[in-house]
Amino acid sequence: MVLEFRLPRVNPHMSKALIECMYAEPGTTLKAGAKLLDLSVDLGDTFLQDCPPISFYRIVMRENAVLRELRVGVGQPCAPGELIAVFSGSASDVVDEPAQRSIRFVTAGIVRHGGMWTENLR
Amino acid sequence: MTSIPLRLGPLKAEGYTIRRSGVRWLAEPGQMCAANQVVAYFNLELGAEGAASGPAPFAEERELFVACAPRVAGRLTFDAAEAPGGYLSIFGFNRWNADTVIGSIDAESPPDDADGIVGELRLLLLTGRRMTQLADVRSGLLSGWYGRKRAWWSDGGTPLTLLSLGICDVIGAVAGEDAAFLEMFRSEPAASQIVVVPDHPVAPVAPVLLDQLERSPAQYRAMCADVQLGLSRTGTTPTAEDWMFAGSMLAMLERNPIRETYDLLSGSGLTRSGPADAVLLSLSAEPPAILQHKKLGYRLHFLPHFHNAAGPAVRKWLADAFEPIARTIDDIKTDYERLLDTIEATTGALVIVLNRMSTSGDENVSSYQPFDAPLSATLANIASKELNVMLDDVADGRNVAIVDLDAMAADIGGAEHVPDGVHQSGAMQELVRAEILHALDGLRPER
């Protein structure tokens, strides 16, 4: 079975998010509870100096799945609904057909940490 | 309908001539305004009469304004001759005269005027200490770049002083949308002075404020020398951004806002008030890590976007001369306890703290099992809840008032009114202002 993860509209005011960290590479089997990625949402996202209203979130798996493709990289901005990753139920599934559904995942607000892409720009 | 001429009212400064600019209106002709709503302002200048003795009042604050608010609601009419425009509405070419009429207000019903002052404008004095004298911005009311700015009503006796040392959640509510306190004073008719010290470049976190309270002039000079030496040893030629960042950082660290006193101008003369009666802090300012100088021991924290304003030499110096110190919630508690106890011993000010919003509709955590312990090190809302509980514990038995942003946000709707947990809507800021003023009112002797 082919599954997908598209960027959720975490906040109703957001226009995009930035991928801050990825915790898995294609080919990795992720179990329920595994971290997939961290992202930041900047509700200002125009001028960096204007005290940006940035929040940070972690996406965590709620089911077992094999990560097959990543369509974005760390540091890359994404729009809500944009395809981020393709999964399959098992490593042998062919993923050249449309996804049947989204993966099941948890969204959690997190504290900024040193492993984030924007943290390492400083 | 009763037409009431609006006259300036008294301002007095013994030994000085008070001069004013032409009027700069903040309202349109024919506009309805509320009582105590600021509708116009002037630039003020104090000219010494004869030889000055001692330091001039407002010596560090080169910009002084007086804003005017009618005492009754009604529709405004302007006297065009009092608003000449150009530099005549910026520089103080006119001597202050309490009887000057700048317009009129049409009140819907004849107001009670037993004291004969209904047509006398309420005067709100505003001043700011520029971050640098180069920041000569005269485009509006308190429109420049200030290291401290403040405002107070000219009447009502000695004001209570509220010193705001927060980040956006506090500064936004206190300074208001125009950053000139106008919403605050519209809600506060009592004698109050409101002071704001900005959160840039140094963020007002508890250990930094504590260091400022305890720092001696000799320690400050050692910091200045270290900055100079440190920047020269980075191997990077400092840029304009480096010098401006270092200069504004040292300007902010030189002073101790909690101990500072204030010159006041009013209808009865010049006075000087003591340190702030209340200090307003923001729990959201407390980060999980700060910087500590390896040799001199002082602590610093910069909000990330201000850190990014530094040039390459300052960033290198910060990386070389400081080490990051992680802070658990217990560490933050210890810092808060020390700061509160030092303020109590130093000035006795009431400390008002805005707590943190700790809920979010943006997440859907159904199990905490995937997250490592301690949860507060990872999950933002758990961290906020634990910090709020910590604040309750610290406040117990101390001179502290908590403004419960967390509860207010839950009542009004956090997603709409505090979408990122810090930056509030106008409606939310109004609620926060009311709570802050309620806490300040508790200090008034008549209560």
According to the model, what pLDDT value does residue A48 have? 45
The ipTM is 0.82
Per-residue pLDDT of B50-85, as tens digits, reads 876 778 899 889 899 999 999 999 999 999 999 999
Which chain B residue is nearest to residue A57, measuring alpha carbons? Answer: B363
Closest B-chain CA to A54? B420
User: Is A122 in Cβ contact with B308 (below 8 Å)?
Assistant: yes
For B411, residues 6+ apart whose C-beta sits below 8 A from its C-beta are none
Q: Does B372 touch chain A (CB under 8 A)?
A: no
Which residue ranges make up each domain of chain A?
Answer: 2-113
Interface of chain A toward chain B, CB-CB under 8 angstroms: 10-13, 32-35, 43, 48-58, 60, 62, 106-113, 118, 121-122
Q: What pTM did the predictor assign?
A: 0.90
Q: Between chains, do B315 and A53 touch, taking CB under 8 Å as contact?
A: no
| CB contacts, 8 Å: A37 with chain B | none
Whole-number pLDDT of residue B42: 97
CB contact set of B223 (below 8 Å; sequence gap of 6+):
B250, B253, B293, B296, B298
Average pLDDT, chain B: 93
* Domains of chain B in sequence order: 2-144 (no CATH), 206-215+256-288+327-441 (3.40.50.1110)
Which residues of B fall within a CB distance of 8 Å from A7? none
- For the stretch B30-40, pLDDT in tens is 999 999 899 99
* Strands B278-282, B160-165: pairing kind: parallel
pLDDT tens for chain A, residues 1 to 122: 999 999 999 888 889 999 999 999 999 999 999 999 999 998 876 544 456 788 899 999 999 999 999 999 999 999 999 999 999 999 998 888 899 999 999 999 999 888 999 887 65
In this model, does residue B446 exceed pLDDT 80? no
Q: In percent, how much of chain B has pLDDT > 70?
A: 99
Q: Looking at the partner chain, which of B168, B381, B419 has a beta carbon nearest the beta carbon of A109?
A: B381
Q: Which residue of A has its CA nearest to B359?
A: A109
* DSSP conformation letters of B272-283: EE-S-SEEEEEG
Smallest Cβ–Cβ distance between A122 and the set B307, B378, B415 belongs to B307
pLDDT on residue A96:
87
Instruction: Return the CATH number of the domain spanning residue range A2-113.
Output: 2.40.50.100
Question: In chain B, which among 14-73 make CB contacts under 8 A with chain A?
Answer: none
Q: Is the pLDDT of residue B274 over 80?
A: yes
- Residue type for position B138: R
B-chain residue closest to A60, CA distance: B370
Q: Does the beta carbon of B75 lie under 8 angstroms from any beta carbon of chain A?
A: no
Q: Which residue of A has its CA nearest to B418?
A: A53
Instruction: Check CB contact under 8 Å for B419 and A53.
Output: yes
d(CA B153, CA B175): 15
Q: Which of B26, B77, B15, B18 has its CA nearest to residue B43?
A: B18
Q: Which residues of A60-72 are buried (b: 16+ CB within 10 A; e: fewer)?
A: bbbeebbbbebeb
pLDDT digits (tens, 9 = 90+) for B142-168: 999 999 999 999 998 889 999 999 899
pLDDT at res. B164: 98
Q: In this complex, which of B308, B379, B415 lies closest to A110 when CB atoms are compared?
A: B379
Mutation target for A interface from B317, B386, B420: give the one with most A CBs within 10 A.
B420
C-alpha to C-alpha distance for B416 and B368, rounded to whole angstroms = 26
Percentage, residues of chain B above pLDDT 90: 81
* pLDDT for residue B91 is more than 60: yes
Q: What is the pLDDT of residues B306-362, one digit of tens each?
A: 888 899 999 999 999 999 999 999 999 999 999 999 999 999 999 999 999 998 877
Summarised one tens digit per residue, pLDDT across range B362-412 is: 788 888 988 988 999 999 999 999 999 999 999 999 999 999 999 999 999
pLDDT of residue B447: 54
**3-state secondary structure labels for all residues of B115-182:** CCCCCECEEEEEEEEECCCCCCCCCCCCCCCEEEEEEEECCCCCCEEEEEECCHHHHHHHHCCCCCCH
Q: What is the pLDDT of residues B192-215, one digit of tens each?
A: 999 999 999 999 999 999 999 999
Q: Which residues of A touch B328 (CB under 8 A)?
A: none
